Amino acid sequence: MKPPQPSAEPGASATSSVSLPERGDVVLCTVREITPHGIYVDLDEYAGLNGFLHISEISTGWVRNIEKVAKPQQKLVLKVIRAERSRREIDLSLRQVTNEERRSKLIEWKQRERATTIMAMVKKDLSLDDAHFESYASGLEKEFGSLYDALETATKKGEKAFSSLEIPSQVVNEIVRVAKEKIVPPKYEVGAILELSSRAADGIHQIKKVLTAAAGSSSSADVKITYVGAPRYRLRVVADDYKQADKVMNSVLEKIGENVGKHGAFSSKKEMSRKYGGGA
């Protein structure tokens, strides 16, 4: 979520009025200047704040050429290691940022950029004035947590996604239209490794029958079962919602267990779930 940006009080400096990130926060920065001792950056989400990435916080190893690390105007995902109101700069680290933290922050940034572009299109198409536009945008952020989440919900639920908000139908219709044109809703995938065996005379036929029935048992998700190597199979369930995908998978596993019955053995081990599409 974007940090608050309070307005400056009369007589207060811009730096003293800006909210500070906390130690351990992961922030998006733009490279401003590169020196032999480190990199000066602007904190994109904290207007008016600058940061410094010391050469010792770039890598766990020796940095021979700092200019190979980044270029001016390049985006960097960094971690706050010190933030004090009395200082004019935030101390930052690159080496302490994990791959998952970097990925999540970049996805968040790309989603924010996409949402901003979409809303700008809506504003232009409807010739909205700044006051009305800001009112609608802030209402969406308050209701959904972020503009992107609001637009993503619009691609799934259409106009009814905004039924509780006081936004004119003409604006809602345009938001939904552009969102569906520019955003691909995410998909959620869950999976499991299955082990099946049968003591029946036609055991292979029975297993195929059980798996075929299980794969076609859901109309609310895409269910696929593929052969890994006897007696192992891989189950994949893809749906628009993680809870739905997990619910369908549990139902499929239950059906397989029931159909295998006493003539065979069945076990399963769930694998990691994942989300794809939707700016991820």
Q: What is the reported pTM?
A: 0.64
Question: Which stretch of 5-14, 137-146, 260-269 has the lowest confidence by average pLDDT?
Answer: 5-14
Cα 26 to Cα 30: distance, rounded to the nearest angstrom: 14
Q: Does the pLDDT of residue 81 top 80, yes or no?
A: yes
Instruction: Give me the pLDDT at residue 203, please.
Output: 85
97: left (phi over 0), alpha (psi -120 to 50) or beta: beta
Q: Taking 90 as the threshold, does the pLDDT of residue 272 lie above it?
A: no
- As given in the structure block, the two tokens for residue 278 are 């939707």
Which tens digits make up the pLDDT trace of 180-217? 999 887 788 999 999 999 888 888 888 989 999 988 98
Over the stretch 27-51, which tens digit does the pLDDT of each residue have? 999 999 999 999 999 999 998 899 9
Question: SS3 for 259?
Answer: helix
pLDDT band at residue 165 using 50, 70 and 90 as cut-offs: very high
Length of the chain: 280
Residue range 17-34: average pLDDT? 90
User: Which residue, 225, 239, 226, is CA-closest to 274?
Assistant: 239
Task: Identify the pLDDT of residue 33.
Answer: 95
Query: Residue 187: its pLDDT value, please?
Result: 84
Q: What are the residues whose beta carbons fall under 8 Å from the beta carbon of 270, sequence distance 6 or more? A: 190, 191, 192, 249
The whole-number average pLDDT for the span 101-114 is 92
Residue 170 CA from chain centroid, whole number? 29
Residues with Cβ within 8 Å of residue 204, at least 6 apart in sequence: 198
Spatial separation of the C-alpha atoms in residues 16 and 87, rounded to whole Å: 10
Mean pLDDT of the chain: 88
Report the pLDDT value the prediction gives residue 109, as an integer from 0 to 100: 92
187-198 vs 222-229, strand pairing mode: unpaired
Burial (CB < 10 A; 0-12, 13-18, 19+), residue 174, is middle
Q: What is the pLDDT of residue 273?
A: 85
Q: How open is the CA angle 131-135-138, to the nearest 5 degrees? A: 135
- Domains of the chain (ranges; CATH) run 21-97 (2.40.50.140), 101-182 (1.10.150.190), 187-276 (3.30.70.1130)
Q: Are the C-beta atoms of 31 and 41 separated by less than 8 Å?
A: yes
Angle, vertex CA 148, rays to CA 143 and CA 151, nearest 5:
75
pLDDT band at residue 278 using 50, 70 and 90 as cut-offs? low
| Residue from 106, 47, 41, 44 nearest 69 by CA | 41
Q: Check whether 88 has a pLDDT greater than 80.
A: no
Q: Could you tell me which residues are beta bridge partners of residue 276? A: 187
- Name the pLDDT band for 9 (thresholds 50, 70, 90): very low
